[in-house]
Structure 1
Amino acid sequence: MSADTRRIAHLDMDAFYASVELLRYPELRGQAVVIGGGRNATPEMLPDGSRRFSRLRDYAGRGVVTTSTYEARALGVFSAMGMMKAAQLAPDAILLPTDFDSYRHYSRLFKAAVAAFTTQIEDRGIDEIYIDLTDLPDDARTLGARMKQAVRDATGLTCSICIAPNKLLAKIGSELDKPDGLTILGADDLERRIWPLPARKVNGIGPKANEKLAALGIVTVGDVAAADPGLLQANFGRTYAAWLARIAQGEDERPVVVTSEPKSMSRETTFERDLHPRHDRAALSAAFTGLCVRVAEDLQRKGYVGRTVGIKLRFDDFRTVTRDLTLPSPTADSATIRRAATECLKRVTLDRRLRLLGVRVSTLGDEHQSVAPEPVQSELPFDSGE
């Protein structure tokens, strides 16, 4: 099927974790709220029936922000930011603990609402999905509006949807009119709506690549489209340069992958700045543990266990290294995954700053294959004291 006849939607829940919390605490609507505190951030019920909330200025520790409301984002507080830095930017923001059981519940609800329209859905995580609408009869705007209303009816939450000829444009487009947006993009919208965007808005152009592009005078997606191919290849290598050229023209042939048997599950993060294995131990350790926890949650949510744990590192020179380890028994336990990932990490020479860190679990099977995990906590090469 021709790419320009496809209709691919990307649905992204709006500030998902924070929005779920606002259902529970509606009195916080319109305020700067940060999610990521521990149990000590649980609101206190007062005798008069009101609640006393913790403030970000009172936080002490090395945790990171899970997410924030749009009001907190306006103050510069974003997900994956260190909590202490966030407290400097927004000391009066409300701090709430994370509640992944609740987030998973609402995730199941919104996905079930969309599944009433079609089974052609690719699950991309707890708060986003791709949907292939190509074979549905209604026009794109009608379908998008009906899906948004179905999600709101099922959850009480808003989402943003973009319908475009491919996954690349749909992903970018779902951010254009947030929150509660409905965006329709066609090939003729590329120059008007996509090219003026900063290059970093493209999924796959991380902070380091964006910095290198900017140093070459390439700031927008349109600049990438107009760039000399030889210049891109000289600075990024043949494969990445060819990919940049394709995405700048809005080209993406990837299908919506609908499968009940994934080969692996992974989580990775590209850091806002390159992190030093020794000087940034705390941030790296927190990020590493967080990735292991999120992969474990993905496995548990979908009913899988895995026997092979792997890591992915990308250094500041764009060199990528992977390592993996096969376990004697399959698992979906975060501590076991972290221990195995740590063993993989110890087989890598950490001699440069890191721009990306990832954790993957593969050789998947049904969760009933799992066994009780051993209570082991491993030291990371960049943990304090190592």
Structure 2
Amino acid sequence: MMGNRMKVDRRTFLAGTAAGASAAAIAGMFPVVAQAADEIVVGGIHDESGFLDIAGQPMSKVLRFAVDELNKKGGLLGKQIKLNDYDSQSNMQLYSQYAQQLALKDKAAVVHGGITSASREVIRPVLRRYKTLYFYNTLYEGGVCDRNQFATGTTPAQTVEKLVPYVMNLWGKKVYTLAADYNYGQITADWVKKYVKENGGEVLSTDFFPLDVTNFGPTISKIQEAKPDILMSVLVGSAHLSFYRQWAAAGMTKEIPMASTTFGAGGNEIILMDPSESDGIVNALGYFPEIQNPVNDKWKADLKAFYGDDMPLLTELSCCTYEGFNLWAQAVEKAGDTDRMKVIEALESGLSIEGPSGKVTIDPKTHHTIRNVYVAQIENRAWGIKEEYKQVPPADTQAVCDLQANPDDTTMYVIKLDE
């Protein structure tokens, strides 16, 4: 069963919700969702609308495909999977609402969702409190240490550490960074600075922008005056697409080359933008659709057959959503149960799958993934793979998190970087 796509109007929700309401009172707002004895409920919380919809829509579509694919194979433990997938509309209050709905009323065995670090930090404590397993399938800044959460996306020590020296060897030592003004952008910008310095370079300036900013004219003038060898983009979301268009309109694509930690990672930038605006951008990620392996070839073909012309964009976020679901399903099979702690223990056994991105292994110490990393460059709306690094560990999070030694840790660490 593919399950339900669910959306509650924000105004309706806010009108009926008082600040500081108890969990029991909030739970009482929700209609009881009937759950058949032969069903296992899987939850999703994805931004199918709002300013993060370019990333959320592919994640939601891929999760629905993964559920349907498994159900056609007979489901799990002799039961069909029911997907309850909610549109959080890029709204913090809705992340909390839907996390509680899935935990308290839907009785989900696992929840997949969240994009920004802020959304994760709304969802994570709710699901931990109500003992509902959580998969965060998004690249992020690293440092979350929580036994109830598994993070399948890449962290800076896996990708930025490869990207910075690659582009510095191509283009030069002087870097100018633009970043989204929230946790991911701020912390990733620090990682950029660290790796630039380690490779003998200099960050001339780092400029931060709220997610709703669309006017980058003054910034482009500042970059022109600074004359960097490389522009590093850590921008996020649909509003920030305006930068790339304004950069191209100013004739800068031929003047200063660009690298990015985010471009094409989760959204459809590569489709929305003209090649004249995006050609030449370099990124390092855990997945690109151009990766050549039999699992990726079959996955792409099966998605095309399932969705036809409505096929979702294939990105690191959508791929990690698929791989996260299958890691959870394999752990359920290994545990012989959907019980949260039994599934966690199965995942902590060093469980791995062969996914579209290659081999993906759960690191028991951090609940992050050990995975392949690829450096690629855009040409005519396609990624050309330039470098491949096998089985890169999440070394940044490993430096601060050891859930084997401290299983009750629930900290979001801001990893200290040497200047």
TM-score by length of 2: 0.25
TM-score by length of 1: 0.26
